[in-house]
Amino acid sequence: MHSFTEENYLKAIYKLQEANGLVVATSALAQVLEVHAPSVTDMLKRMAGKKLVTYQKSKGVKLTEKGRQVAVGIIRNHRLWEVFLVDKLGYKWDEVHDLAEQLEHIHSEDLTNKLDMFLGFPKADPHGDPIPDANGVLPKSKAVLLSTFAEGDQGTFTGVTDHSATFLNYLDKTGFSLGDPIKVKGIEEYDQTYTLQLKGKKEVVVSFKVANSLLLSY
């Protein structure tokens, strides 16, 4: 199989490719993986040799179909284990990331599928991120940022784009909970502050930064 390191590179490339376009820069990878650029160059060469990525020197990397399959498999593992940790073991949504980073590297498709069944085939992880199916198909989410909403708009809180424990704790404390309805009562023009009505008529005021990290569906 692939080493943990390779798998982490694949995951990182996948995520950067999703977020910022087709090819991923060496420096971007170095940053998210917390290694130095020459290490990345080195690794990319080895991975290109294994046909996990296509790499042209000084031109960035892309995943091959094979690489994409592996990456999505790891993401599937990660998200299923997060569901397990929260639903079965009682962890909170801000505590599961590091553990899932370890568990995602357990190599067994069969285990993944049995876990999936045990958890009742969840469609999203505790942060609302969609779980790829056994064929590596990731449901295309149509959720949209709260920051794109206008006054009077409403939707259901279905995900976050900031997964940091600090942000998740802030949401807990403020009364946000995945699956709840949210309505925009007002937007302050001066500083883009949002006044929201949460479940149970509770009104809260949040900054643009927060509105820009919340995903809503309708």
Give Cα separations from 59 to 15, 18, 41, 132, 189 (angstroms).
18, 18, 11, 29, 42
Residue 21 or residue 90: which is nearer to a copy of itself going by CB? 90
The single residue among 43, 115, 168, 196 that binds a copy of itself, judged by CB under 8 A, is: 115
Number of residues that bind a copy of itself (CB under 8 A): 15
Q: Is 100 helix (H, G, I), strand (E, B) or coil?
A: helix
Which stretches of the chain bind DNA, using CB under 7 A? 3, 5-6, 25-28, 30, 33-46, 55, 57-60
Distance CA 29, CA 7 (A): 13
99 counts as binding a copy of itself under rule CB under 8 A: yes
Residue 31 or residue 193: which is nearer to DNA going by CB? 31
DSSP secondary structure code for residue 123 in this structure: S
Distance CA 123, CA 53 (A): 28
108 counts as binding a copy of itself under rule CB under 8 A: yes
With CB cut-offs between 5 and 8 Å by kind, which of a copy of itself, DNA, none does residue 60 bind? DNA
Which two tokens mark 158?
């279905």
Q: How far is the CB of 19 from a copy of itself (least distance, A)?
A: 28
DSSP secondary structure code for residue 129 in this structure: P
Residues that bind a copy of itself (CB under 8 A): 85, 88-91, 99, 102-103, 106-108, 111, 114-115, 118
